[in-house]
Structure 1
Amino acid sequence: MLQKFIHKVEAVITGKSRAPALEIGLEALSTGYGMAVSLRRRLYEKGFLPQYRLPCFVISVGNITVGGTGKTPMVMRIANLLTHDGFRVAVLSRGYGGRAETAGTIVSDGNGLIRDAALAGDEPVLISRSCPGVPVLAGKNRIASGKLACERFHPDCIVLDDGFQHLALDRDVDIVLLDVRQPAGNGHLLPRGPLREPLAALRSADAFVLTRNGSAGNSPAQAPDGFPLGKPIFRSNHRELVRALIHPGQTIDFLPAAGEGDSNSGLISGRRVYRFSGIADNARVDASIEKLGATVAGNMDFRDHHLYDDREIAAIEAEARRCHAGMLVTTEKDAVRLMGRAAFSIPLAILGIVLEMVPKDRFLFENWLLRLARAKTGKQNSDDPEVLQLPTK
């Protein structure tokens, strides 16, 4: 009964169905929610609620809507960019769905993974595997995680995954990602819509990255209607790729990091596949599969961050055979939750997402961020003596 009600609410939020009485009730809840989160941000901005300051350069990557805008791929891009430029970097992630979300844990010490997804959550494990040499910590208390990161690893820079609403920890730069197709969702706050805060909160951002731009040309990036002007705006795209192919009888023991030149899309092209996944937008995975040239014969949806049990794994394979699918397909976030466990008798393709900056904006974004990091930390690149001033809050 509860699951049915949740699906009905989701259908109203996404506009797939109408339920006037439910919409009125959700709108009333949204009004109260909006007042509460606006007051909370204002109290932090005015100094009535304290913010903790870490002794390093802190970058937050976040968004203003629930759902996937590409925060985790952007965190990976930034962490690897800073590492390549000579900075010591650590990443803080909440670790949604992991048993250590409340207590916190070190997921990777930079030398290798020391926690699995069941304990640490899928996103921290995925970041750890995609960012060699970068310590990753999980836990909803980012202050505690940040203190531990500074004590153990002495980073020059810390990157917060999904940190825009985590106001208790002060940051130097707030980067907010917006899906260019629906930057404000349906325009309503939770629970009537996907907005986590009123759009006025975007005034606190230092830069925006517009994701899923499609074939963006050479024209300058433009802010969506109603969004703050005068802030740097960069554009990116999500590129789907096959991260790995697991053969029948094998478990997922290793998930290679994906570079911008990788593809392997031919591994599923022309195949009839069965998709299973538990992410924020499962339907989007089907579109990605079809974009890579495969046919989705059937699918099975789970909630975001879902941890699979043996019964569900068996049901997935049974349904795939019933649909006459010759291959299973899931996402990299799902794959880290299955590592060392499931061994299917059907080939399993693992899809990944690489966030690629629009070529015109890539240099601008990297130059902007690196100059800010150098200004804060005092690290200077001999080829680039000039630095930008840090944005004022």
Structure 2
Amino acid sequence: MNSKLDFLFSLGRPLSPVYASLMALRAFLYRKNILKIHSLPVPVISIGNLTMGGSGKTPVIQWLAKHLQKEGYRPAVISRGYRGKAGNKVNIVSDGKKVHLNQHEAGDEPYMLACSLDGIPVITGKKRIHPCQYAVNELNVDIILLDDGFQHMAVKRQLDLVLFNATTLAGNSRVFPGGELREPVQALKRCSGFMITGISDDNKNRADRFSELLSTRFPDKPVFQTYLTGIEIISADDNRVVSDPTSLDSVFAFCAIANPTRFRHTIEQTGILLTSFKTFRDHSRYDGQRLNCLCQSAQNTGATSLLTTEKDFVKIADQQLPLPLYVLRIRLEPEEGFKKFILDTVSSGKNPEQVET
């Protein structure tokens, strides 16, 4: 954790019990159906987290959507569309055939998902029951993937997956504003299972210990892990895969994601030599002035090319840059038991019981 964030959390620590109590009360109201929970005629899988910031949800949703499609399902991804400007009850980012909204209208992650998921609708809406119903009634989907859905309890789900990033895990284990947790740890009782993402040689031991801790505290909930199965460097100009990443000499990398450390570690695994590594706040926009300053900084370090993430690339894909741009793309693979867990649960038609917290 950086020192500035640590300082801010220390200031907010006295308010953590208040926020935790409010979140627990909200969960209680949903559990007692005082706040309405909407049911859908198709299975719903929520992919969410307990912590703020990046836990690897987008790559997991990509993998899960493609896997379900391969198994014969017709999935749709439903998102709130964080920071997207589209304000309708139902915003069709993609109908599975064509991408209808740009990244500013859709939000970064929904737009990226829409561009990468052929044949799979991506829809946003602040009240997610509305895009869910549209996907079922108008697009004939038979399974819903609810992006960042753990705290969105207004839609009943068949599976509630909570993700933890192997590098950051549960942060300082304190509830906001004294830490990175969105809810008290007790809220994990209502999930169906856990997934540890972003596992590498550097964090494997910590991830294994954390998996054991989750299994001990929540013995009725399975814990799964995901691994990187491939790292590709793609040329933004022609979508060409760079066969030897180390051939890219003097690279300036940049990103605006929640977990830049993971991006840097992934770059280091490729053997690429970095002249510098620039980070911006998560979800930051790249206007002309920022891009000009960024490119000038890169040239000042002697860089001959730029490197960024897939999420960042969708924000600047239409920009002309003075240096060649490359995009780092990762492929992940959950452990084999996860595939069986997903398909068995979805095909069984079971709904997890609400657990009192």
Given the two structures, how large is their TM-score scaled by the length of structure 1?
A: 0.82
1:352 aligns with 2:352: no
Q: Distance in 2 between matches of 1:265 and 1:157?
A: 37
Residue correspondence of structure 1 range 284-295 to structure 2 within 5 A: 284-295=262-273
Residue correspondence of structure 1 range 150-165 to structure 2 within 5 A: 150-165=136-151
2:91 to 105, 113, 116: 105
Residue in structure 2 matched with residue 386 of structure 1 by the alignment: none
Q: Distance in 2 between matches of 1:269 and 1:187?
A: 42
TM-superposed CA distance for 1:264, in Å, is 4.4
Percent of pairs with identical residues: 34
1:392 aligns with 2:349: no
Residue in structure 2 matched with residue 310 of structure 1 by the alignment: 288
Q: Distance in 1 between matches of 2:218 and 2:247?
A: 42
Q: Distance in 1 between matches of 2:123 and 2:347?
A: 24
Q: Is the 8 A contact 2:254 2:308 kept in 1?
A: yes
Residue in structure 1 matched with residue 223 of structure 2 by the alignment: 233
Segments of structure 1 that go 5 or more residues without pairing to the other structure are: 1-8, 257-262, 377-388
Residue in structure 2 matched with residue 365 of structure 1 by the alignment: 338
1:327 to 298, 302, 305: 305
1:135 to 101, 118, 121: 121
State the secondary structure of the residue aligned to 1:351. Answer: strand
Q: 1:243 to 1:170 in 2, by over 3 A?
A: farther
Residue correspondence of structure 1 range 21-32 to structure 2 within 5 A: 24-32=10-18
Residue correspondence of structure 1 range 158-197 to structure 2 within 5 A: 158-197=144-183
Q: Distance in 1 between matches of 2:288 and 2:298?
A: 16
1:90 aligns with 2:76: yes
Q: Tell me which amino acid in the other structure corresponds to 1:343.
A: Q
Q: Identify the structure with bigger relative contact order (alpha carbons < 8 Å, sequence gap 6+).
A: 2
TM-superposed CA distance for 1:281, in Å, is 2.1
Q: Distance in 2 between matches of 1:206 and 1:286?
A: 32
Q: Distance in 1 between matches of 2:135 and 2:232?
A: 33
Residue in structure 2 matched with residue 210 of structure 1 by the alignment: 196
1:244 to 227, 234, 248: 234
Q: Distance in 2 between matches of 1:268 and 1:142?
A: 44
CA deviations on 1:278-334 (whole Å, 9 max, x unpaired) are: 111223322222221112212332221222111111111111110001110111001
TM-superposed CA distance for 1:240, in Å, is 6.2
Q: Distance in 2 between matches of 1:240 and 1:305?
A: 25
Q: Distance in 2 between matches of 1:36 and 1:293?
A: 47
1:274 aligns with 2:252: yes
Q: Is the 8 A contact 2:248 2:305 kept in 1?
A: no
Q: Is the 8 A contact 1:242 1:349 kept in 2?
A: no
TM-superposed CA distance for 1:268, in Å, is 4.7
Q: 1:98 to 1:239 in 2, by over 3 A?
A: farther
Q: Distance in 1 between matches of 2:77 and 2:346?
A: 15
Task: Show structure 1 runs of 4+ deviating over 6 A.
Answer: none
CA deviations on 1:345-391 (whole Å, 9 max, x unpaired) are: 2111111232322xxx32x2111211222222xxxxxxxxxxxx543
State the secondary structure of the residue aligned to 1:222. Answer: helix
Q: Distance in 2 between matches of 1:344 and 1:24?
A: 41
Q: Distance in 2 between matches of 1:164 and 1:327?
A: 39
TM-superposed CA distance for 1:271, in Å, is 2.2
CA deviations on 1:86-123 (whole Å, 9 max, x unpaired) are: 11111101222211156541011111212111110111
Q: Is the 8 A contact 2:90 2:134 kept in 1?
A: no
Residue in structure 2 matched with residue 198 of structure 1 by the alignment: 184
Query: Which is further off, 235-244 or 106-115?
Result: 235-244
Q: 1:161 to 1:176 in 2, by over 3 A?
A: same
State the secondary structure of the residue aligned to 1:59. Answer: strand
Q: Distance in 1 between matches of 2:192 and 2:163?
A: 11
Q: Tell me which amino acid in the other structure corresponds to 1:350.
A: V
Segments of structure 2 that go 5 or more residues without pairing to the other structure are: none
1:69 to 33, 55, 65: 55
Q: Is the 8 A contact 1:118 1:307 kept in 2?
A: no
Residue in structure 1 matched with residue 3 of structure 2 by the alignment: 11
TM-superposed CA distance for 1:149, in Å, is 1.3
Q: Distance in 1 between matches of 2:41 and 2:103?
A: 29
Number of residues paired by the alignment? 349
Residue in structure 2 matched with residue 41 of structure 1 by the alignment: 27
State the secondary structure of the residue aligned to 1:353. Answer: strand
